[in-house]
Amino acid sequence: MTRPATDAVRHHATDPGRRATEQTDPGRRATEQTDPRYRAIDRLPTEEIAGLMNAADATVPAAVASQLPQISAAIDEITTRLRQGGRLLYIGAGTSGRLAVLDASECPPTFGTSPETVQGVIAGGPEALIRSVEGAEDDAEAGRTAIATHAVGPGDAVVGISAAGRAPYVVAAVTAARSRGAYTVGLSCNESTPLSAAADQPIEVITGPEIVTGSTRLKAGTAQKLVLNMISTITMIKCGRTFGNYMIEVSATNNKLADRATRIVADITGTDPQTAKEALEAADNEVKTAILMIEHTLPPQAARHHLAASGHNLTTALTTRT
């Protein structure tokens, strides 16, 4: 009797004899291995595939957690350099490069940094953000050129991102950055990779085989995004660009952010929204200036001077008088 298609698929994925013939080659990178559980997903119902993907994605946070000591060490070194006026450069190819640009581009509106402070560099240039640029990740010379073009030096930090940990563009860039005295991090999803060997601080988030074999935009990409979130956010927190968990450097460039800025000022000062909004308008939408105006009853320019004298640290400015 013929079994229903879904039963046949389950047998295909779990049959011991078939599984024995599909054992992964130990020499293959984890990100390129095939997981027999997903061998016949093309014949499963949609919701069952969604459940498998969801279960696979749920394993990523634990993989990231295993690297928290390495991530924390990298953040502390990066923070030291940014505090001294250095820069953070993310560099990657393909999905890794797009994640690099994504995380870097969020820093100015979220934390009030200049676009130069945190930068994302992608193999193949801006065109690679929207379409694949053939051969870009294999161009080691372009990786070295990117580091030279950005004039990377001892005061900077460079985070190379490659799921496989082998992209020549990324490995060459990190190697070049390290030779120039920059602090370097290698973020990958495999063990003992060329990228790890090239960097001062390896971060190896082992996410294993993907539900679609080799499609590292999935679990590996999710893991990379989680780590980049930590690096940028915690670095900015430690650089004093939040007050508690408030985005005090937020740039009110649209209505949503203007409303957020008003709520932040009102929450921190304990004032009403209208007073907070008026203070922000007088302060040219500078959240920290508006807070000091209310807390210390200062005009805008005096509040700015006091903030500058406090090293632009809001906590210090609030606990000292002019």
* DSSP-assigned letters across all residues of 75-106: HHHHHHHHHTT--EEEEESTHHHHHHHHHHHT
> Which pairs with CB-CB distance under 8 Å and at least 24 residues apart come from 315-321?
315/240, 315/243, 317/288, 317/292, 318/291, 318/292, 321/296
Instruction: Collect all residues with Cβ–Cβ distance below 8 Å to 93 and sequence separation of at least 6.
Output: 122, 123, 124, 128, 136, 137, 162, 167, 169, 170
Cα gap 263→277, rounded to integer Å: 9
Among candidate residues 137, 210, 249, 286, the one labeled active-site is 137
**Per-residue tokens: 111:** 């934390």
Nearest to 22 by CA among 36, 11, 9: 36
Among candidate residues 32, 48, 77, 106, the one labeled active-site is 106
Cα gap 136→8, rounded to integer Å: 42
Compute the 3-state secondary structure of the chain and give helix, strand, coil in percent, each to the nearest 5.
55, 10, 35
C-alpha angle 293-295-298 in degrees, rounded to nearest 5: 35
Q: How far is CA 28 from CA 23, 31, 51, in A?
A: 11, 8, 27
**Per-residue tokens: 82:** 């940014």
Nearest to 322 by CA among 312, 305, 313: 305
Q: Is 286 a catalytic site residue?
A: no
Name the amino acid, one letter, at 286. E
Q: How far is CA 7 from the centre of its chain?
A: 41
195 neighbors 174 (Cβ within 8 angstroms): yes
Q: Is 281 a catalytic site residue?
A: no
**27 torsion bin: left (phi>0), alpha (psi -120 to 50), beta (else):** alpha
* Residues assigned a catalytic role: 106, 137
